Chains A and B, each alone.
Chain A
Amino acid sequence: MTDLLAHQEGARCLLMGNEAMARGALEAGVNVAAGYPGTPSSEIIENLANAAQNGRLYVEWSTNEKVALEVAAAASFAGLRSLCVMKQNGVNVASDFLLHLAGSGTRGGMVLVACDDPGALSSVNEGESRHFARLVEIPLLEPGGFQEALDMMKWAFALSEKIRNIVMVRSVTRLSHASGNVVLGPLPGVDAQAVFRYNGNILDPMEGPVISMPVTAKHGLQQKKLRQAVALFDASPFNTYTGPDAPEILCITASAGYLYSKEAIDLLGLEDRVGLLKLGTTWPLPSRLLAKYLALTHQILIVEEVTSFLEDNVKILAAGMGPEIGVKTIFGKTDGTIPSVGELNPDIVIHALLKITGVDYQGVPADYTQRAETIADTGAPARDLTFCPGCPHRASFWSIHMALQMDNRQGFVCGDIGCYSLAIFPTGFSTLKTVHSMGSGTGIASGFGKLGPFGMNQPVLAVCGDSTFFHAVLPALVNAVHQRSEITLVVLDNSGTAMTGFQPHPGLSVDASGNAVPGLDIARICEAIGAGVRVCDPFDLETTRQTLFDLLESRGGVNVLILKKRCALSPERKARKDFKMSVDQAVCLGSNCGCNRLCTRIFRCPGLIWNKEKKMTEIDEVICVGCGVCASICPSGAVVKKEKA
Chain B
Amino acid sequence: MDHTIHLPDPFNLIITGVGGQGNVLASKVVGNMLMEKGLNITIGETFGASQRGGSVMSHLRISPRSGFSPQIPKGKAHLVIALEPTEALRVLKDYGNPKVNVLCNIRPIHSIGVISGDQDYPLLESLQKWIRELCEQAWFINATDAAITLGNPILGNVIMVGALAATRMLPLDRGRFESVITRTMPAAKVEINLAAFDRGRKMIDN
State the A residues within 8 Å of B (CB).
12-14, 39-40, 121-122, 145-146, 173-175, 177-181, 256, 259-260, 262-264, 267, 345-347, 350, 363-365, 368-369, 371-373, 375-376, 378-388, 419, 422, 426-427, 499, 575, 597, 600-602, 604-606, 608-610, 612, 620, 622-623
Contacts and interface: CB of A to CB of B under 8 A. Distances in A.
23 contacts: A14-B35, A122-B47, A146-B42, A146-B67, A181-B35, A345-B69, A363-B97, A364-B96, A364-B97, A371-B133, A373-B93, A375-B93, A380-B87, A380-B90, A381-B86, A381-B113, A384-B111, A385-B54, A427-B112, A499-B49, A606-B53, A610-B114, A612-B120
Contact of B89 (A375, A388, A426): A375
B44 A178 contact: yes
Contacts of B90: 376, 380
Interface string B74-89: 1110000000001101
Contact of A347 (B44, B73, B121, B152): B73
A631 to B, nearest CB: 17
B87 to A, nearest CB: 7
Contact of A256 (B31, B70, B97, B152): B70
Contact of A606 (B40, B44, B112): B112
A535 to B, nearest CB: 26
Interface in B117-172: 117, 119-122, 126-127, 130, 133-134, 144, 148, 152-153
A260 to B, nearest CB: 5
A372 B120 contact: no
A12 B69 contact: no
B5 to A, nearest CB: 20
Interface in B49-83: 49-50, 52-55, 67-76
Interface residues of B, number: 63
Contacts of A14: 28, 31-32, 35, 41, 43
Contacts of B148: 622
B69 A262 contact: yes
A346 B111 contact: no
Nearest to B97: A364
A380 B89 contact: yes
Given A180-B67, A259-B70, A174 B44 contact: yes
A604 B120 contact: no
Contacts of A575: 152
B41 A180 contact: yes
B53 A385 contact: yes
A122 B45 CA distance: 12
B109 interface: yes
Contact of B134 (A39, A375, A601, A608): A375
A499 B49 CA distance: 8
Interface of B: 18, 20, 28, 31-32, 35, 40-50, 52-55, 67-76, 86-87, 89-90, 92-93, 96-98, 107, 109-117, 119-122, 126-127, 130, 133-134, 144, 148, 152-153
A377 to B, nearest CB: 9
A345 B71 contact: yes
Given A382-B111, A384-B113, A422-B49, 14 more contacts: A177-B45, A256-B69, A259-B69, A263-B69, A347-B73, A365-B98, A368-B134, A379-B126, A380-B87, A380-B89, A385-B53, A426-B112, A600-B115, A606-B109
B193 to A, nearest CB: 15
A507 B43 CA distance: 36
B53 A386 contact: yes
Contacts, number: 205
A623 B31 CA distance: 27
A534 B70 CA distance: 48
B49 A379 contact: no
Given A146-B67, A174-B71, A385 B126 contact: no
Contacts of B126: 379
Nearest to B32: A14
A260 B42 CA distance: 13
B52 A388 contact: yes
A383 B35 contact: no
Contact of A364 (B70, B74, B115, B133): B74
Contacts of A267: 73
Given A262-B69, A346-B69, A346-B71, A178 B43 contact: yes
For the residues of A in contact with B, the DSSP-based class is mixed
Contacts of A600: 115-117
Contacts of B120: 381, 612
A419 B50 CA distance: 11
A385 B50 contact: yes
Given A350-B73, A604-B115, A385 B49 contact: yes
B16 to A, nearest CB: 11
A383 B75 contact: no
Contacts of B127: 379
Q: Which 6 A-B pairs have the closest CB atoms?
A: A364-B75, A122-B48, A178-B70, A259-B69, A386-B53, A376-B93
Given A364-B96, A622-B153, A379 B50 contact: no
Contact of A346 (B73, B93, B97): B73
Given A363-B76, A388-B20, A600-B117, A383 B111 contact: yes
A605 B109 CA distance: 12
A597 B109 CA distance: 20
B48 A39 contact: yes
A121 B50 contact: yes
A379 B130 contact: yes
A23 B42 CA distance: 18
B106 to A, nearest CB: 13
A379 B89 contact: yes
A181 B71 contact: no
B148 to A, nearest CB: 7
Contact of B52 (A173, A419, A620): A419
A378 B49 contact: no
Given A174-B71, A181-B41, A601 B112 contact: no
Contact of A623 (B40, B97, B109): B109
Most chain A beta-carbon contacts within 10 A, residue among B49, B96, B112: B112
Given A14-B31, A604-B115, A263 B75 contact: no
Most chain A beta-carbon contacts within 10 A, residue among B53, B92, B120, B144: B53
A403 B24 CA distance: 39
Contacts of B49: 39, 121-122, 385, 422, 499
A397 to B, nearest CB: 14
Given A39-B48, A375-B134, A419-B52, A382 B70 contact: no
Most chain A beta-carbon contacts within 10 A, residue among B71, B74, B122, B130: B71
Most chain A beta-carbon contacts within 10 A, residue among B74, B87, B93: B93
Contact of A610 (B52, B68, B72, B116): B116
A375 B116 contact: no
Contacts of B20: 388
Contacts of B133: 371, 375
Nearest to A147: B67
Nearest to B76: A363
B97 to A, nearest CB: 5
A13 B48 CA distance: 24
Nearest to A347: B74
A382 B119 contact: yes
A575 B72 CA distance: 34
B17 to A, nearest CB: 11
